[in-house]
Structure 1
Amino acid sequence: MSIWWKINIVLISVIVLFGLYELVVRIMMRRAAKIITQEEFQAGMRKAQIIDVRERDEFNAKHILGARSFPFSMLKESYSSLRKDQPVYIYDHNKAVSARAANLLRKKGYKDLFILKGGMQEWTGKVKQKKID
């Protein structure tokens, strides 16, 4: 077998694995939470708990105004400070970590879970941003 065949097999395998990963993330998101647009997020955010599941340094650099930091790496220890009787709006950089966070919260009994479509990456609303000196 030539080297080119081996390279093609590896590339095809990587593409297939990436596709499977995307499929799993989409399934997890649909099972755990409703994906909402930026407009829906902004319309309901006053009545919801907004959590940013990115790591603390990313949150400190820039986050949606009114959001609380719940890094995914610490969510298992800190989720209990969220109220189960209010909607939880979740976002991260794009959406993969949000799906995992929503899945964890759903397993802990939270029902009204919503994920921001496009995450912080596509957010155009109000933010709190660290000033660079």
Structure 2
Amino acid sequence: METSRSTLQSVIRGVGEMDIYNQRRPKPIMEECDLEYEERPYLIVDLRDRDDYNMNHIIGAHHYPVAMLSRCQNNETRELLSYKNKKGKVIVFYDEDERIASKAVTVIVERGYNNAFLLTGGLKYAARKFPAGLLTGSFPVSWTTSQTPGIKIKRSKSMDHNGVLSALGISQSQRLNRGSYISLPQREYFTSDDVEKLSSELDMNLVPTDSGSRLSRQSTVASKQSIRSSVRSQRSNVSSIHGKPWKPS
């Protein structure tokens, strides 16, 4: 039986078996990014390798290895292209410690992106500032402690370490050793509980570390509260005086 792929005319026109097979298959419609990406005003991009990304990453982060930037000129994913220079949308790039992300953002900007940003400090700094509610997967306990060189006060580090473990729900009796990992639930979307944890941790990070600034802020808040209470009392007294019926003396 003669088929279209076996005739001489088909061979001359360049029609082969793959062309016939592709005609039978329904062509997928090129869709835009998912609705979950379209609704977000931000796109978080992880520039590390796939193994590191699978180990831990920011919740909802899009994986785009930095090696993709050096392969060809137009090798951006559809997520990056959908957020490129869009009004009201930003793209945040990060790696583990900001070593490769800074160079990658430079290349991204040179390719015409004007809404690209760099996560300062990388994933390690984010894990130390927001140990709960931001990351998913497993990461070393050492990420949650400050590693500033020259500081030899071990007590402050242990106190900070215990505070982080308490925030993660790990008791002091279950203290982990230096080489262990902290495991967080695997998910790709932020929950309401995550948002509450991030909000509380953000408030704690905004509190001044020195006692003088903290006391001054507390005194300022207390003075404002006293002023408001005095104003309310004065208003109530005035209203009570005007509310009494007038009696001739």
TM-score above 0.5, yes or no: yes
Aligned residue pairs: how many? 87
SS at 1:59 equivalent: helix
CA distance in 2, matches of 1:61, 1:80: 22
Q: Does 1:66 align with 2:69?
A: no
Show structure 2 runs of 5+ residues with no match. Answer: 1-39, 139-182, 184-249
Worse-superposed segment, 118-127 or 88-97:
118-127
Q: CA RMSD in A?
A: 2.1
Q: Which has the higher helix share?
A: 1
Q: Offset at 1:128?
A: 1.8
Show structure 1 runs of 5+ residues with no match. Answer: 1-45
Aligned residues of 1:79 and 1:105 also touching (Cα < 8 A): no
How does the TM-score come out when normalised to structure 1? Answer: 0.58
Amino-acid identity (%): 30
Matched residue, 1:129: 137
Q: Offset at 1:75?
A: 3.2
Amino acid at match of 1:94: D
CA distance in 2, matches of 1:104, 1:120: 20
CA distance in 1, matches of 2:69, 2:41: 21
Q: Offset at 1:119?
A: 0.6
Worse-superposed segment, 105-114 or 73-82:
73-82
CA 1:69–1:91: 2 relative to 1, 3 Å: same
How does the TM-score come out when normalised to structure 2? Answer: 0.32
Which one has a bigger Cα radius of gyration? 2
Q: Pick from 106, 124, 133 the counterpart of residue 109 of structure 2.
A: 106
SS at 1:93 equivalent: coil
Q: Offset at 1:112?
A: 1.1
SS at 2:76 equivalent: helix
CA distance in 1, matches of 2:101, 2:136: 20
Q: Pick from 38, 41, 44 the counterpart of residue 47 of structure 1.
A: 41
Deviating 4+ runs (over 3 angstroms)? 75-78
Q: Which has the higher strand share?
A: 1
CA distance in 2, matches of 1:90, 1:69: 10
Q: Offset at 1:101?
A: 1.1
